[in-house]
Structure 1
Amino acid sequence: MALRRATALDERTGGRVLDDADLASALAVCALDPVGSVLATARLEHAVDVGIRRAGGELWGYEKDGRLEGICWAGANMVPVAPAVSDADPDRAIEAFAAMARRQGRRCSSLVGPAYAVLGLWGRLRPSWPGAREVRDDQPSMVIDGPPLVAADPDVRRSRLDELVDVLPACVRMFTEEVGYSPASGPGGPYETRVRGLVTQGRSFVRMSDDPRARVMFKAELGAVAGGVAQVQGVWVAPEHRGRGLSERGMAAVVEAARADVAPLISLYVNSYNARAIAAYRRVGFRQVGSYATVLF
């Protein structure tokens, strides 16, 4: 993973801005922890197709003795990856990214990724960056790589574009419940564009109802797909239909469909205080393999 130095290396911290020529080396770093790095890997794979600039962010790297040991995607979300493997020094990588982030100032809406890297980065940035709105410091990272342990809901399927009029409001309700504010920014805005894209790509799953109060009973998306991992996001059951086991059977259906034609390993992360959701995922067959953290601004 030797680097061609397209930009100046900070000799003190070992950090520098990477370019398109570094993408293969950056993906190799992510491959050391495919579940923890799936959010970054998805952005890098997109950058391979369109270039880093058009992918909507910067790519930072930490280099030691000519070898790339850590990367950080710096876009709307900041996603650090600093695997603790072999003789790598993740703390030095995190310090390098913190120095670059301090120079740039906060431009992201969140820090998200493996808890060690995110919390280490936030601990270094907190004195100089504006205060966080919320810090979710323990989000179990869970995976399943075999058939689900419960029967799949036969009514859960991929959503269709002609259902966007119902799917989009359900996504907005879920996001608002989870994060505390609405992501909606009007017709054709970034959130609608993302939801539409997931539907178009076959990465949005729903169970529909005839109930006009809650046309979408259950929903989930494959929010990040990269490196042989599909990360489930946005799992939601309409309040009118909760308490009926829809989440377990719905997730089983998503797992079956995703493992059949998207990726062999299905992952997700969940807030540690959401004991009910964790128990439901365990019943489906998910097991914890690590921990994420999210800092919301």
Structure 2
Amino acid sequence: MARWRGSTLSGTAVGGRLLDDADLPAAARLCARMPVESVLAANRIDAVARSGLKSSGGQLWGFDRAGELAAVCWSGANLVPVIPPDADGALDGFAALARAQGRRCSSIVGAADAALGLWERLAPSWSKPREIRANQPSLVIDHAPLVAPDPLVRVSRPDEYDAVLPACVLMFAEEVGYSPASGPNGPYETRVRSLIAEERSFIRMARGPRGPEVIFKAELGAVAGKVAQVQGVWVAPDYRGRGFSEAGMAAVVAMTRAHVAPTVSLYVNDYNTRALAAYYRVGFRQVGTFATILF
């Protein structure tokens, strides 16, 4: 197994290693210790356990302590560290690996202490980020929603891709600041198709001036173990302020808990007070804080 050695930070030698398929069971067990914080990485680990790391398009990094895997970090389109509180030195190890590889990711995302700590170590050598979202409340719900689910919210069908994609692109552009569209078979378009095919895309349709249109949508962007993380929640501008987000999220929670996982999670920017209030009304509670560094 490959191993890199980095510089010395605070007098402590740093290092980490590139994991291989034999390490995946240990990585999955480590993520299971902190299921909400790790769901993004655990979702990728579950996927590569089926197909193998070589064909995944990413890497899985590990940091050992006393001969056992103590922390992991998924390195792909996003850099996602999973670092338990007792994994001293893991941030230094992953920073050494990231510096050796160079920046390939579009974001660093994860539990705030891990994501921000990793960025603090990389900032002197990596390019300046577009934005740092340092306070993103991590919310969960593990019981029935407190508001009535919208009965018209349902799982998307493959033949509705042409209606779902524009809503997804609009949501992404609002949230991140640029359009992710790159052509019929681009990575974002393929991702939307995959979520629909896997029945992880939820929509509410209405009749618009040009035909049926999506007025509410959400996806299960990551599922691992007993946790499903909701991403991409969006209400069409003309329908905002009318309760569609609360009732729509209640429907997503009810369907997800019935068919996918008993715990539903999400994270949201702290300045999005309207969304936070809606999620709290549905029954979500805060269990931690995420952070995202966008490049």
Q: Same fold, TM exceeding 0.5?
A: yes
Matching residue of 1:3: none
Separation in structure 2 between the aligned mates of residue 268 and residue 282 of structure 1, nearest angstrom: 12
Deviations 1:103-130 (CA, angstroms, capped at 9, x unpaired): 1110111101111100000000001000
More deviation in 169-178 or 159-168? Answer: 159-168
Q: CA deviation at 1:199?
A: 0.5
- Say whether the 8 Å CA contact 1:158–1:202 is kept in structure 2: yes
Corresponding position: 1:96 with 2:97: no
Separation in structure 1 between the aligned mates of residue 173 and residue 293 of structure 2, nearest angstrom: 16
Q: Which residue type is aligned with residue 62 of structure 2?
A: G
Matching residue of 2:191: 194
Provide the secondary structure at the position in 2 that maps to 1:272: coil
Q: Which residue type is aligned with residue 69 of structure 1?
A: A
Corresponding position: 1:155 with 2:152: yes
Corresponding position: 1:221 with 2:222: no
Q: Which residue type is aligned with residue 26 of structure 1?
A: A
Provide the secondary structure at the position in 2 that maps to 1:53: helix
Matching residue of 1:146: 143
Matching residue of 2:64: 63
Q: Which residue type is aligned with residue 32 of structure 1?
A: R
Deviations 1:271-295 (CA, angstroms, capped at 9, x unpaired): 0000110010000000000011000
TM-score, scaled to structure 1: 0.95
Q: CA deviation at 1:10?
A: 4.3
Q: How is 1:42-61 mapped onto 2 (pairs within 5 angstroms)?
A: 42-61=43-62
Q: Which residue type is aligned with residue 37 of structure 2?
A: G
Separation in structure 1 between the aligned mates of residue 103 and residue 209 of structure 2, nearest angstrom: 42
Separation in structure 2 between the aligned mates of residue 10 and residue 78 of structure 1, nearest angstrom: 19
TM-score, scaled to structure 2: 0.95
Matching residue of 1:248: 246
Separation in structure 1 between the aligned mates of residue 236 and residue 2 of structure 2, nearest angstrom: 49
- Say whether the 8 Å CA contact 2:42–2:224 is kept in structure 1: yes
Q: Which residue type is aligned with residue 215 of structure 2?
A: M
Separation in structure 2 between the aligned mates of residue 83 and residue 184 of structure 1, nearest angstrom: 36
Q: CA deviation at 1:55?
A: 1.6
Q: CA deviation at 1:196?
A: 0.5
More strand by share: 2
Corresponding position: 1:7 with 2:5: no
Q: CA deviation at 1:47?
A: 0.7
Separation in structure 2 between the aligned mates of residue 98 and residue 227 of structure 1, nearest angstrom: 28
Unaligned runs of at least 5 residues, structure 2: 7-12
Provide the secondary structure at the position in 2 that maps to 1:260: helix
Matching residue of 2:285: 287
- Say whether the 8 Å CA contact 1:183–1:191 is kept in structure 2: yes
Matching residue of 2:257: 259
Separation in structure 1 between the aligned mates of residue 130 and residue 293 of structure 2, nearest angstrom: 8
Corresponding position: 1:171 with 2:172: no
Between Structure 1 and Structure 2, how many residues are aligned? Answer: 288
Q: CA deviation at 1:9?
A: 6.7
Separation in structure 2 between the aligned mates of residue 14 and residue 103 of structure 1, nearest angstrom: 11
Provide the secondary structure at the position in 2 that maps to 1:60: strand
Matching residue of 1:31: 32
- Say whether the 8 Å CA contact 1:14–1:63 is kept in structure 2: no
Q: Which residue type is aligned with residue 261 of structure 1?
A: H
Q: Which residue type is aligned with residue 192 of structure 2?
A: V
Q: CA deviation at 1:212?
A: 3.0
Q: 1:205 aligns with which of 202, 211, 215?
A: 202
Matching residue of 1:128: 125
Separation in structure 2 between the aligned mates of residue 174 and residue 269 of structure 1, nearest angstrom: 15
Unaligned runs of at least 5 residues, structure 1: 1-5
Separation in structure 2 between the aligned mates of residue 292 and residue 8 of structure 1, nearest angstrom: 29
Separation in structure 2 between the aligned mates of residue 199 and residue 248 of structure 1, nearest angstrom: 22
Provide the secondary structure at the position in 2 that maps to 1:78: strand
Separation in structure 2 between the aligned mates of residue 129 and residue 10 of structure 1, nearest angstrom: 18
Provide the secondary structure at the position in 1 that maps to 2:14: coil
More deviation in 126-135 or 14-23? Answer: 14-23
Deviations 1:48-96 (CA, angstroms, capped at 9, x unpaired): 0001121221111111110111000111110000011xxx234x10110
Deviations 1:130-156 (CA, angstroms, capped at 9, x unpaired): 000000001000000000000000000
Separation in structure 1 between the aligned mates of residue 269 and residue 125 of structure 2, nearest angstrom: 27
Q: Which residue type is aligned with residue 285 of structure 2?
A: R
